[in-house]
Amino acid sequence: MITKDSEKAALIRRLSDQGISLMVFYDDAPPASISHDTVNSYTWLVHAPYEYEQLEKWLYPGNWQAIHPGNPSYRPFNSFKTKTAELDALLREAGIKLLIDSFHDDIEWNVIEEA
């Protein structure tokens, strides 16, 4: 769980520097300034490079999830209320190595990353 903007920015910078695309599940489309492909009306594949500030302007209300690698059949769920063993099994089954789940106010990010 991360709550500090500096930690969020460091995570996003590391992912971008590693060239990791993020599949983002969110109600609103990203702005044209963020390189992305539309998967469906609530899912976008965001391509590196990207910056925390760009993503924050788009995703600031919270209530979004990002995964890597992208999996269009993945269905977001509340990772904040899911037990660790069940969470691990769901992500493994979907082939997800990284999950960023933003709570409704975007203060807390639940980050699960395969080592």
Per-residue pLDDT band at 106 (split at 50, 70, 90): confident
What is residue 2's DSSP assignment? B
Q: What is the pLDDT at residue 115? A: 64
pLDDT at 93: 92
Q: Using one digit for the tens of pLDDT, what is the confidence trace for 21-80?
A: 999 999 999 999 999 999 999 999 999 999 999 999 999 999 999 999 999 899 999 999
Distance CA 115, CA 112 (A): 9
**Span 82-86, average pLDDT:** 90
Distant-in-sequence, close-in-space partners of 90: CB < 8 Å, separation ≥ 6: 77, 82
Q: Has residue 92 got a pLDDT over 80?
A: yes
CB hemisphere CA count around 112 (13 angstroms):
22
pTM of the predicted structure, to 2 decimals: 0.93
- Residues 79-88: b if buried by 16+ CB within 10 A, e if exposed: beebeeeebe
